[in-house]
Amino acid sequence: MVSYKDNQLHMEEVALATIAEAVGTPSYVYSKRYLDEAVTALKAAFAGTPTKIHYSVKANSNLSILRIMATHGCGFDIVSGGELSRVVAAGCDPADVIFSGVGKTTEEIDYAIKLNIHCFNVESEQELSRISERAENLHKIAAVSMRVNPNVDAQTHPYISTGLRENKFGVSVDVARQLYQQASEDPNLNPTGVDCHIGSQISRTEPLLEALTNLLSLVDELDRSGIKLEHIDLGGGMGIRYNDEDPLDIESYGGAVAQLLSGRRQTIFLEPGRSLTANGGVLLTRAEYTKPGASDDIPNFAVVDAAMNDLIRPALYQAWHDVLPVKTQRDAAMTTWQIVGPICESGDFLAKDRQLSIEQGDLLAVISAGAYGMVQASNYNSRGRPCEILVDGDTFSVIRRRETISDQLRLEREQL
pLDDT, tens digit, for every residue of 285-318?
Answer: 999 999 999 898 999 999 999 999 999 999 998 9
165: pLDDT strictly greater than 60: no
Question: 169 or 387: whose pLDDT is higher?
Answer: 387
Q: What is the pLDDT of residue 157?
A: 43
Residue 144 has pLDDT above 60, yes or no: yes
Contact 280, 1 (CB under 8 A): yes
Domains annotated for the chain, with CATH where assigned, are 2-29+279-409 (2.40.37.10), 32-277 (3.20.20.10)
In the predicted structure, residue 166 carries a pLDDT above the cut 60: no
Task: Quote the CA–CA distance of 254 and 216 in Å, as a whole number.
Answer: 16
How does residue 150 score in pLDDT terms, banded at 50, 70 and 90? confident
Within a 13 Å sphere around the CA of 179, how many CA atoms are in the beta-carbon half?
29
b or e along 68-102 (b: 16 or more beta carbons within 10 Å of the residue's beta carbon)?
bbbebebbbbbbbbebbebbeebebebebbbbbbe
pLDDT at position 156 over 60:
no
Mean pLDDT (whole number) for 259-274? 96
Residues forming a β-bridge with 122: 146
Burial of 380 (0-12, 13-18, 19+ CB in 10 A): middle
8 Å CB contact between 164 and 196 = no
Q: Which residues pair with 97 in a beta bridge?
A: 76
Percent of the residues in the chain that have a pLDDT greater than 90, as a whole number: 88
Q: With cut-offs at 50, 70 and 90, classify the pLDDT of residue 161.
A: very low
From the list 74, 92, 196, 344, the catalytic residue is: 344
Q: How far apart are CA 351 and CA 338, in angstroms?
A: 6
What confidence score (pLDDT) does residue 163 get? 41
Q: Is the pLDDT of residue 146 over 50?
A: yes
Question: Mind listing the pLDDT tens digit for each residue in 37-46?
Answer: 999 999 999 9
Least confident of 26-35, 142-151, 354-363: 142-151
Rounded CA-CA distance 288/302 in Å is 8
Nearest Cα to Cα of residue 56 among 282, 278, 254, 387: 278
pLDDT, tens digit, 9 for 90 and up, residues 65-110: 999 999 999 999 999 999 999 999 999 999 999 999 999 999 999 9
Residue 416 has pLDDT above 80, yes or no: no
344 is catalytic: yes
- Averaged confidence pLDDT in the chain: 94
Which amino acid does the sequence have at 336? T
Q: Determine contact, residues 108/131, Cβ cutoff 8 Å.
A: no
Residue type, 223: D
Give the number of other CB atoms < 10 A from CB of residue 28: 27
Nearest to 353 by CA among 394, 306, 320: 320
- Number of neighbouring beta carbons within 10 Å of residue 349: 19
Which is more confidently placed, 294 or 336?
336
Q: Rounded distance, CA 154 to CA 216, Å?
A: 18
Judged against a pLDDT cut of 60, whether residue 155 lies above it is answered with: no
pLDDT at 168 over 70: no
